[in-house]
Chains A and B, each alone.
Chain A
Amino acid sequence: QKEVEQNSGPLSVPEGAIASLNCTYSDRGSQSFFWYRQYSGKSPELIMFIYSNGDKEDGRFTAQLNKASQYVSLLIRDSQPSDSATYLCAVKGGSYIPTFGRGTSLIVHP
């Protein structure tokens, strides 16, 4: 059984701080790693994709992947109240079907 674990939170950070979201996975054959953002009452949307070890930056978002330790993280710099949402980690191996974590709720307070 492939598992993807996330702390459910809520993670509460002040505006302007760095929010750090973590995800661990069980399948060593995993090859593609995704972070989706889901606002309350809305559907998930992709914000980051990473497949090689190290960091990948896109604006205020940085995804970090460590395959040896089987974790992937998402850093949000200069957090804004509009970043308040649930963040879903998804992991995919060689099949079409990703495995989703249950998500971490992030609250950015002014």
Chain B
Amino acid sequence: DVKVTQSSRYLVKRTGEKVFLECVQDMDHENMFWYRQDPGLGLRLIYFSYDVKMKEKGDIPEGYSVSREKKERFSLILESASTNQTSMYLCASSLGFAGHASRDEQFFGPGTRLTVL
């Protein structure tokens, strides 16, 4: 069973704080993703990593950075938290097949509900 874990289920931070969200997967997946999910807006991709130390911006990277020093771990960093970053943050991983009709489903962690006051 693939397991994706996230460091916290709930987090409350103050405006301006630096926030670290950690994600670990145990199935040797190549790809890891960070999303945020807000009511009515669905899942929005923040960053994506296809290999150690490799990253690509998603649809909403502003205000965020990421780090992938080891294959199993993908960290999301909020450099200076703001109230509009209050959201549910979901980490996901996938094997990494980009070819024709590949199943390559995403496995999601339990999510971190972040509140920025």
Complex CA distance for A68 and B59, rounded to whole angstroms: 28
Complex CA distance for A90 and B100, rounded to whole angstroms: 15
Would you give the 0/1 interface string for B52-74, flagging 1 where the beta carbon is closer than 8 Å to chain A?
00000010000000000000000
Contacts of B40 in A (CB 8 A): 8, 102
**Is the beta-carbon distance between A94 and B42 smaller than 8 angstroms?**
no
**Is the beta-carbon distance between B101 and A52 smaller than 8 angstroms?**
yes
Interface residues of B in 75-117 (CB under 8 A from A): 90, 94, 96, 98-106, 108-111
Q: How large is the interface on B (under 10, 10 to 19, 20 to 34, 35 or more residues)?
A: 20 to 34
Known: A43-B108, A49-B103. A100 touches B98 (CB 8 A): no
In angstroms, how far is the closest chain A Cβ from the Cβ of B104? 7
Counting CB contacts under 8 A, is A46 at the interface? yes
**Is the beta-carbon distance between A88 and B101 smaller than 8 angstroms?**
no
Smallest CB-CB separation from A93: which chain B residue? B98
**Is the beta-carbon distance between A94 and B43 smaller than 8 angstroms?**
no
